[in-house]
Amino acid sequence: MFTGFYEEIHEEFREVVREFVAREVTPHYRRWDAEHRMDRSVWESAAENGLLGLAVPEEHGGMGLDDYRYRMVLDEELARADALAVALAFHLHDDWVLPAVMTYGTPEQKEAWLPRFIDGSFVTSVAWTEPGAGSDLRAVRTKAVRDGEGYLLTGQKTFIGNGITGDGALVLARTDGSSGRGAEDSFSLFLVEKEGNPGYRAGNQLDKMGLKASDTAELFFDEVRVPLRNRLGQEGQGLEMIKHLLPQGRLAVAAASVVVSGQVLQDTVQYVKDRSTFDAALTEYQNTRFRLAEQQVTLEATQHYVAEAVRRFNAGELDVVAASKAKMWASERAKEAADICLQLHGGYGYILEYPVAQAYLAVRLLTIFGGTSEILRETVAAQMLS
Ligand SMILES: Cc1cc2nc3c(=O)[nH]c(=O)nc-3n(C[C@H](O)[C@H](O)[C@H](O)COP(=O)(O)OP(=O)(O)OC[C@H]3O[C@@H](n4cnc5c(N)ncnc54)[C@H](O)[C@@H]3O)c2cc1C
């Protein structure tokens, strides 16, 4: 990010992250990418370095680092190491499940779960999407039926990050027995644990185009018994809670987008300096210089836009429309940046060994998940026209 965005304390934190990445991520990442799964040890070592659940307050064993710039430092260092799949895995745990529990958990739930979120023993997933329900969560069909002191959960989810390697999921399920498109208050959220629940099963691992080291899978729930204490918030409050989680979730994607754009551009500047054709360095072609200049200006404008969203988030003022604007803008720019920078690499840009090729595949997700760009445009327009 631009000079002045971070303070000295963030740079000290960066040293810890950089050391963690060099020791625990870089030596293994190629293998994780090939195996389509990262070792569980990455969670444990991240926990040992205090890098999981940054925002968890001290009373629950955390460091209370709720300034979003710390999360961005983590993203930046993972992007620098070309290890974006780790950033995605941590993002689901830290930007969705953790804030859900911190905001809506009872004191007992916080006591039970937050320490396990930060010590790496309870890796979580977000399980909202279903084969028939992605952008439209009111089409979710997974149901939770009251049964004695809890619920019986039955249904199918898809595209679930950490679905195979994780220990539990924040599941959106229908609780009012309705069918068809549900009402706003038809759904509830449950933190469902895998252990001891044979009906909780991960299906096939999905073969993604990029970010392969993070596992993404289908999940199946077959009459999984969920105690009442695992319901988050009130029955019927599920969609309302998700709306309140959107600002952080979308800010996170905006932040990751600007981080990747910056890294890709930096790599490309180095590449064009080193490469020659027709007895001339690539930097001697006006096309190269113009492309770089355009990307630099776009990057700086995007950095300032995202920085303002981060400032508002830190002040507790980021609403869903502002977060949607930041995500829409930054993720679309990241997609362009990766494409243009890949072109400047020529054929090498198409080879997966080069970070620009990995980034190209990774950024393609950013305009889709956490709200597609089309849904975000609708969100922005709805406010303009209201
Ligand atoms: C790699 C990956 C990881 C993911 N991780 C998770 C995860 O961990 N947990 C989870 O719950 N989900 C996850 N998702 C799901 C993701 O959030 C959804 O894919 C996304 O919300 C879009 O839903 P969909 O795929 O069903 O597309 P659809 O909703 O079917 O949309 C298809 C197209 O129609 C457009 N469209 C839909 N509705 C409208 C509208 N009203 N107006 C205009 N255009 C519209 C969309 O923009 C899109 O272009 C992941 C997805 C991927 C690919």
Is the model's pLDDT at 162 over the cut of 90?
yes
Mean pLDDT of 323-330: 98
Between CA 66 and CA 313 the distance in angstroms is 10
Q: Please check whether residues 95 and 144 belong to one and the same domain.
A: no
Q: How confident is the model at residue 232 (pLDDT cuts 50, 70, 90)?
A: very high
Contacts of 279 (CB under 8 A, 6+ apart): none
d(CA 113, CA 343): 46
On whether both 245 and 381 belong to a single domain, the answer is: yes
CA of 103 to the centre of ligand 1 (A): 25
* 380 in the same domain as 298: yes
d(CA 337, CA 282): 18
184 token code pair: 């706003």
DSSP state of 182: P
* Res. 230 pLDDT band, cuts 50 70 90: very high
Question: Rounded CA gap, 225 and 246, in Å?
Answer: 28
Atom in ligand 1 nearest the alpha carbon of residue 374: 47
- Average predicted confidence (pLDDT) for the chain: 96
What does the alpha-carbon distance between residue 207 and residue 218 come to, in Å, rounded to a whole number?
A: 11
In a domain, 2, yes or no: no
Q: Give the pLDDT score at 279.
A: 96
The answer to whether residue 337 scores a pLDDT higher than 90 is: yes
Beta strand pairing status for 168-174 and 124-127? parallel
Q: Is 381 exposed, middle or buried (0-12, 13-18, 19+ CB in 10 A)?
A: exposed
To the nearest 10 degrees (0 to 180), the angle between helices 68-80 and 286-314 is: 150
Task: Note the pLDDT tens digit of each residue in 56-104.
Answer: 999 999 999 999 999 999 999 998 898 999 999 999 999 999 999 999 9
Q: How much is the pLDDT for 79?
A: 86
Quick check: 291 pLDDT over 90?
yes
Section 238-267 average pLDDT: 96
What's the pLDDT score for residue 1?
84
* Mean per-residue pLDDT, 336-364: 97
Its domain, for residue 359, covers 240-385
* Ligand 1 neighbourhood includes 151 CB (under 6 angstroms): no
pLDDT given for residue 172 in this prediction = 98
- The pLDDT of 353-366, averaged and rounded, is 96
Tell me which residue of 103, 90, 72, 109 sits closest to 245, measured CA to CA: 103
Nearest atom in ligand 1 to 206's CA: 1
Query: Does residue 256 have a pLDDT over 90?
Result: yes
Task: Dump strand ranges (E) for 162-264.
Answer: 168-174, 187-193, 200-205, 216-227, 231-232
- CA 62 to chain centroid, in Å, comes to 20
Supply the pLDDT for residue 324: 98
Q: How confident is the model at residue 204 (pLDDT cuts 50, 70, 90)?
A: confident
Confidence of residue 2 (pLDDT cuts 50, 70, 90): confident
Number of domains comprising the chain: 3
Angle between helices 286-314 and 320-344 (to 10 degrees): 160
The reply to whether 1 falls in a domain is no
Q: What is the pLDDT of residue 356?
A: 97
Beta strands in 200-313 (DSSP E): 200-205, 216-227, 231-232, 276-277, 280-281
Residues 6+ apart with CB under 8 A from 292: 265, 268, 269, 272, 344
Check: CB of residue 126 under 8 Å from CB of residue 161: yes
Q: Which CATH number do you get for residue 63?
A: 1.10.540.10
Q: What is the pLDDT of residue 361?
A: 97
Here the CATH number for the domain that contains residue 176 is 2.40.110.10
> Domain end: 118, 137, 156, which one?
118
Q: What CATH number is associated with residue 245?
A: 1.20.140.10
Helix axes 238-274, 286-314, angle to 10 degrees: 150
Boundary (domain end) residue, out of 181, 213, 236: 236
CB of 338 closer than 6 angstroms to any ligand 1 atom: no
Query: Of all residues in the chain, what percent carry a pLDDT higher than 90?
Result: 98
What separation in Å is there between the alpha carbon of 175 and the centre of ligand 1? 23
Among 338, 363, 323, CA closest to 88: 363
CA terminus-to-terminus distance, the chain: 35
CB 311 within 8 A of CB 239: no
Burial degree of 186 (CB within 10 A; 0-12, 13-18, 19+): buried
112 and 131 housed in the same domain: no
Q: Does 131 fall in a domain? A: yes
193 φ, ψ to 5°?
Answer: -100, 140
- Average pLDDT in the 212-226 region? 97
**Domain presence at residue 3:** no
Domain-ending residue, one of 91, 118, 145: 118
Report if residue 367 sits inside a domain: yes
Whether residue 140 has its Cβ less than 6 Å from ligand 1: no
- As a whole number of Å, the CA-based R_g of the chain is 21
Best of 159, 171, 363 for a ligand 1 pocket test (most atoms within 8 Å of beta carbon)? 159
CA angle at 30 for the pair 28 and 35, rounded to the nearest 5°: 95
Question: What band does 177 get if pLDDT is binned at 50, 70 and 90?
Answer: very high
pLDDT tens, residue by residue, 265-285: 999 999 999 999 999 999 999
Task: Write the residue with the smallest CA distance to atom 44 of ligand 1.
Answer: 374
Could you tell me the distance, in angstroms and rounded to a whole number, from the CA of residue 159 to the centre of ligand 1? 9
Whole-number pLDDT of residue 80: 87
Indicate whether 244 and 314 sit together in one domain.
Answer: yes
SS3 149: coil
Give percent of the chain above pLDDT 70.
100
122 CA → ligand 1 middle, Å: 26
Rounded to 5°, angle at Cα 362 from 359 and 363: 85
Residues 57 and 160 in one domain: no
Say yes or no: 276 and 365 in one domain: yes
Residues 381 and 293 both lie in one domain: yes
